[in-house]
Amino acid sequence: MTQTPTRPQATARFTVPAKHPMVTVLGSGDALLRVIENAFPSTDIHVRGNEVTATGDEREVRLVQRLFDEMMLVLRTGAPMTEDAVERSIAMLRDEEKGAETPAEVLTQNILSSRGRTIRPKTLNQKRYVDAIDKHTVVFGIGPAGTGKTYLAMAKAVQALQSKQVNRIILTRPAVEAGERLGFLPGTLYEKIDPYLRPLYDALHDMLDPDSIPRLMAAGTIEVAPLAYMRGRAQPVFTKVLTPDGWRPIGDLQVGDLVIGSNGEPTPVLGVYPQGEKDIYRVTAQDGSWTLCCGEHLWTVRTAADRRRDKPWRVLETKDMIGNLRAAHARRYELPLLTAPVCFPERAVPMDPYALGLLLGDGCLTGGTTPSFATEDPELASALEEALPGVKVRWRSRADYTLNREKAPGDVVTLENPVTGMLRAMDLVGTRSHSKFIPDDYLHNCAEVRLAVLQGLLDADGGPVVQDGRTCRIQYTTTSILLRDDVVSLVRSLGGVAYTRRRAAEGRRPGRAHGREVHHRHDAHVVDIRLPEGIEPFRLSRKLDTYRAAGGGGRPMRFIDSIEPAGREEAVCIQVAAEDSLYVTQDYLLTHNTLNDAFIILDEAQNTSPEQMKMFLTRLGFDSKIVITGDITQIDLPGGTKSGLRQVREILDGVEDVHFSLLTSNDVVRHKLVGRIVDAYEQYDSRNGK
């Protein structure tokens, strides 16, 4: 008879340091010791005083020795050992040959400490999930209920906010039950949806001071909303958006089209998302600029306190600012301005832009006589002659000059004056002071051309306004509404601000010219201008010297003045590739609808459609992180609708900086029975081919 060979026996001793009471190692009533004995039934484990002896199979004894070593490492950090932690430590040690982290590495990784409680991973897969969140921009946590997917993601989000890695937390769920099937429930939409979002609120209350949560949510630092609200950051389809070719309706834009970003440079459109009809608001700034958007549309703003404390710009939804637009008597929310002039492509123009500005300011363009120019500054007459080849600027009387064609031998008398010819090509011949305008080829030209036109206008018919103790503003006056609007457009395209006001002709005291009264026949439009540092509004020496002596124009600023309902409109939202996600909309206002500097959690993602999943992922902004959690065995979508979470694994698997963390029933940290229930359902599904 053949005898089964016996495996080598071994004995190991482990001494517990005196500073650690044995109860922390063995557990209350030796509960932890019983867990160890049950896990190693063939090993004899004896405890005498503070010494533990294990005798049995060599491999098992070695594991027991390692287990006590790991337990001591955990206890030294102040973390407690529980029966569950011991069971998981044993499982990790048995899998160690697979390259697993040690139990101490897993159980001592503190994520967040709040209100006397520390949040840390409890299983190996949970630790790898947490590590993946640190290392990757987009992480999918997929696994059954109870595996800590959402809770750990929430802890990482709060950690990132507290360490200033992000400026805000956005928590969202696809509220599939908040539609028709819950439509009969009483209350507002938020009251219907609130119970569905309750798990997210509960996790927040575990990790933050409950009194601080309403304040953080009111400030937009924490946003909790259904997924449908994430895509609602939209503008009406007819809203103008600035492109390198001029203004276009946002509804006409397609993926790949170029729009202008906050740095003045073109940036491609990455996504276009129709929104259907939405409630629309008119957002108006104090300089008169305005645009339309929905209540969930995002705005980059800052307050005076943010500026004083050098805090970063914050991102708020339109509806979050309603009723909160004033701080005492001051406007609360400052809007960003262009950081550099808009970069339109250079276009060929018929006339030097500075010369055009001078003539629009103080030139006679009727076409019935020789073009003329009025100025009391010979410097401007010389500059005009230099800018117009083939033209001689001749003094006629007082402040009047004529612009004559320089005749060459052989010229005939009938040759057209070159200035008149250039004006005719721009449809300016015959315009009067109240009907002048700037041609589009100048308005949408490179920054040098636009600035030169503005300098000509201001040298001819504008000037610096100096006030004691204040920086210098610039003032320009015209009787042409078209020219007023064009000047405002030039200023805004260069990164400045312009305010307009009207001086009615009726009732105004007449002016005097050559000793006689001149009555005003048209209203005057006064434009007050501030340009950013480094952009000088004048070339005329006396005006430029005054402007510089006053310290320049200061810092242009623009504030939100009002937000008012504007009906319902068909709307669309776009995503752009600009680093700050800003794009230029109507009146050169800067707005955006992606999510920068945010930690975003999409929970219950198995209930997203493929279209919703794509929309959500493509809303990712710069310096942001996304964690998407879900259980693909618990899909509540209507029959026939494919889960976006299932599909996205096929699409993004292997994409750089995207990670899929898979958790199993072994990672369930609720009641042990939950893990067994999950296993039972998986076995049933496999038997029935599901």
Q: Both 503 and 419 in a single domain?
A: yes
What are the tokens at 437?
Answer: 């305008």
Q: Both 584 and 635 in a single domain?
A: no
Among 199-208, 233-242, 382-391, 598-607, the minimum mean pLDDT is found in 199-208
Average pLDDT over residues 267-277: 83
Is residue 181 predicted with pLDDT exceeding 50? no
Of the three residues 78, 108, 138, the one that is the final residue of a domain is 108
Q: Both 454 and 436 in a single domain?
A: yes
Residue 350 placed within a domain: no
Contact between 583 and 592 under an 8 Å Cβ cutoff? The reply is: yes
Q: What is residue 190's predicted lDDT score, i.e. its pLDDT?
A: 47
Residue 364 placed within a domain: no
Query: Which residues form the domain of 465?
Result: 371-508+519-549
d(CA 41, CA 90): 13
Residue with the bigger pLDDT between 367 and 340: it is 340
Q: Are strands 582-585 and 589-592 parallel, antiparallel or unpaired?
A: antiparallel
What are the tokens at 342?
Answer: 């808009």
At residue 670 the predicted structure's pLDDT band, cuts being 50, 70 and 90, is: low
d(CA 176, CA 609): 10
- Write the CB contacts of 306 (distance below 8 Å, at least 6 apart in sequence): 312, 313, 314
Neighbours of 211 (CB within 10 A): 7
Which own/partner contact pairs does 300-307 have at CB distance under 8 Å and 24+ positions apart?
300/335, 300/336, 300/580, 300/582, 300/590, 300/591, 300/592, 301/333, 301/334, 301/335, 301/560, 302/333, 302/334, 303/327, 303/332, 303/333, 303/334, 304/330, 304/332, 304/334, 307/334
Q: What is residue 676's predicted lDDT score, i.e. its pLDDT?
A: 66
Is residue 619 predicted with pLDDT exceeding 50? yes
Contact between 279 and 220 under an 8 Å Cβ cutoff? The reply is: no
Q: Both 609 and 574 in a single domain?
A: no
At residue 228 the predicted structure's pLDDT band, cuts being 50, 70 and 90, is: low
3-state secondary structure of 186: coil
List the one residue out of 440, 435, 444, 441 whose CA is nearest residue 588: 444
d(CA 261, CA 582): 6
Domain harbouring 486, CATH code: 3.10.28.10
d(CA 325, CA 309): 20
Contact between 168 and 598 under an 8 Å Cβ cutoff? The reply is: yes
Q: Both 264 and 317 in a single domain?
A: yes
Residue 4 placed within a domain: no
Is residue 343 predicted with pLDDT exceeding 50? yes
pLDDT in tens, 114-151: 665 788 888 888 888 999 999 999 999 999 888 889 88
d(CA 72, CA 53): 16
Q: Both 197 and 220 in a single domain?
A: yes
Q: Are strands 497-503 and 462-465 parallel, antiparallel or unpaired?
A: unpaired
3-state secondary structure of 490: helix
501: enclosing H helix or E strand? strand 497-503
Q: Both 536 and 412 in a single domain?
A: yes
Residue 280 placed within a domain: yes
Q: What is residue 532's predicted lDDT score, i.e. its pLDDT?
A: 92
Q: Both 539 and 627 in a single domain?
A: no
Is residue 79 predicted with pLDDT exceeding 50? yes
Beta strands (DSSP E) in 286-371 are: 290-294, 298-301, 314-317, 326-327, 330-331, 334-335, 363-364
Q: State how far the alpha carbon of 298 is from the alpha carbons of 314, 532, 561, 573, 574, in Å.
A: 10, 25, 16, 11, 12
Domain harbouring 171, CATH code: 3.40.50.300
Q: Both 180 and 165 in a single domain?
A: yes
Q: What is residue 76's predicted lDDT score, i.e. its pLDDT?
A: 80
What are the tokens at 174?
Answer: 């696809």
d(CA 499, CA 288): 7
What are the tokens at 478?
Answer: 């015209």
Contact between 10 and 64 under an 8 Å Cβ cutoff? The reply is: no
d(CA 630, CA 645): 7
Of the three residues 45, 79, 108, the one that is the final residue of a domain is 108
Sign of the C-alpha dihedral computed for residues 393, 396, 398 and 403 taken in this order: negative
Average pLDDT over residues 531-559: 91
Q: What is the 3-state secondary structure (H, E, C) of 451-472?
A: HHHHHHHHHHHEEEECCCCCCC
Torsion angle of C-alpha atoms 342, 347, 352, 358, degrees rounded to 10: -50
Q: Are strands 168-173 and 334-335 parallel, antiparallel or unpaired?
A: unpaired
Q: State how far the alpha carbon of 315 is from the alpha carbons of 219, 261, 299, 587, in Å.
A: 9, 17, 6, 20
Q: Say how many CA atoms lie within 13 Å of 165 toward its Cβ.
A: 14
pLDDT in tens, 582-593: 899 999 999 876
Domain harbouring 71, CATH code: 3.30.1370.10
Average pLDDT over residues 355-379: 88
Q: What is residue 208's predicted lDDT score, i.e. its pLDDT?
A: 85
Q: Both 649 and 601 in a single domain?
A: yes
Residue 646 placed within a domain: yes
Residue with the bigger pLDDT between 128 and 673: it is 128
- DSSP letters, 564-604, are EEEEEEEEEEEEE--TT-EEEEGGGEEEE-SB-SEEEEE-S
Number of domains, the chain: 4
Residue 513 placed within a domain: no
Q: pLDDT averaged over the chain?
A: 84
Contact between 54 and 48 under an 8 Å Cβ cutoff? The reply is: no
Average pLDDT over residues 436-445: 94
Torsion angle of C-alpha atoms 93, 97, 99, 104, degrees rounded to 10: 20
Task: Write b or e for each residue in 646-666: b if 16 or more Cβ atoms lie within 10 A of its Cβ, otherwise e.
Answer: bebeeeeeeeeebbbbebebe
DSSP 8-state symbol, 227: H
Residue 122 placed within a domain: no
What is the percent of the chain where pLDDT is above 70? 87
Residue 452 placed within a domain: yes
242: enclosing H helix or E strand? strand 240-243
Q: Both 538 and 601 in a single domain?
A: no
Q: Both 258 and 162 in a single domain?
A: no
Q: State how far the alpha carbon of 359 is from the alpha carbons of 398, 399, 442, in Å.
A: 18, 14, 14
Neighbours of 58 (CB within 10 A): 13
Domain harbouring 587, CATH code: 2.170.16.10
DSSP 8-state symbol, 324: -
